[in-house]
Structure 1
Amino acid sequence: MMEKIIAYQSDIWIAIGQTFTMVGFSILAAVIVGLPLGTFLYLSRGGNLYENKWLFFLLDALVNIIRSFPFLLLVVFLIPFTRFVVGTAIGTIAATVPLTIISIAYYARLVEQSLLDVPRGIIEAAISMGATKSQIIFKFLYREARSGLIFGLTTATISFISYSTVMGIVGGGGVGDFAIRYGYQQFETGLMTFTIIMMIIIVQVIQLTGTKISKKLDKRF
């Protein structure tokens, strides 16, 4: 098996780079767009700072629709949109388009859940102290929910890695595509096993790091 690993080491590094490119764009989109979207989902709920049942209904429906799509079908469905955005539907960059869309919806829901866990009394205390709406969001809500937000992002990142393994269908490459093309299709079980073990290690490192940071930020510990 080691001979095969050495022979394909350059391809393995390329595949790892492709996976991290796709996942990196997904994380960036989740934080830049998913965090505000999830925040507005929370704030537009009944009884909250920006209560608006129609806005909540639209945002909630949008997130639910995107998350309801089987990911492989979403990738195929978005091919025309992907081609319009990046000029092609093939390649690693093209693969980031459906990944970023699902990542936004996925993390938005996790953000909403984290904010819902913030005790109502903290918001009421902030209002009684005369805090502005922006101060309530950034100095109270996010501060109290930071542990859950980090843990949610960790969970989301692992899901993004899982999603990235099917992006070979649009030529996105990545570790999953490498395992299928060089391991499964060429009956190189050892090479495929090595790839799987490598992915398990990467996921474990991400999970342990995220959990450690989350616990450090959690005031209950």
Structure 2
Amino acid sequence: MKVLLVGSGGREHALAWKLTQRPDVELHAAPGNPGIAALGQCHPVRAEDGEALLGLARSLHADLVVIGPEGPLVAGVADELRHAGLAVFGPGRAAARIEGSKSFAKDVMRAAGVPTAESLAVARVPCVIKADGLAAGKGVFVCRTAAELDAGLQAAAALPGSLVIEELLDGEEVSLFALSDGRTIVPLAAAQDFKRIGDGDLGPNTGGMGSYSPVPRLA
């Protein structure tokens, strides 16, 4: 079974590690990274280039394309490949909008009755300032003091798109995942991600300093 894995981050490395535990999988990645290269063959094709990915998948006779990063999913790469007849693991553009726009995600949560932080019309401490669109995990600024608020507003203003301002909710963050084909839902184990750059949960947010699953607190 030939699998084309799209992406180049740690998430894709974890996917590659798991996929290649099946002895019948021949792994290819675009563009991949050195860790993935130890598990399969990497190809110099950008994750956002749907046309080039389609050509690569066809040349490989890929049985499945797995898209890891949010960017290509929000851009509709999965739709483009599915339209061409390929089997793709990853949401289409419409579903990926929940990840690509925090304001849209909040609208969906409100409509579904899912509790979420209250939106604020004006930034004030304490609050959380978020870039509405994708920012590789670096678009969220927790503001507990006036100085942090000023710094957060300046940093957020440098990012493209609009901002979302929310009340600050204190507590541990846990991620719950499920897979769905639009009809059936399969829940997965919970995970806990640590975003702050420093020990003791201090410093600015990053794309992730590490995570683990399952979460002992939820066991």
Give TM-score scaled by structure 2 length.
0.22
Return the index of the structure with the highest Cα Rg.
Answer: 1
Higher relative contact order structure (alpha carbons within 8 Å, sequence separation ≥ 6): 1
Structure 1 or 2: more strand by fraction: 2
Give TM-score scaled by structure 1 length.
0.22
Structure 1 or 2: more helix by fraction: 1
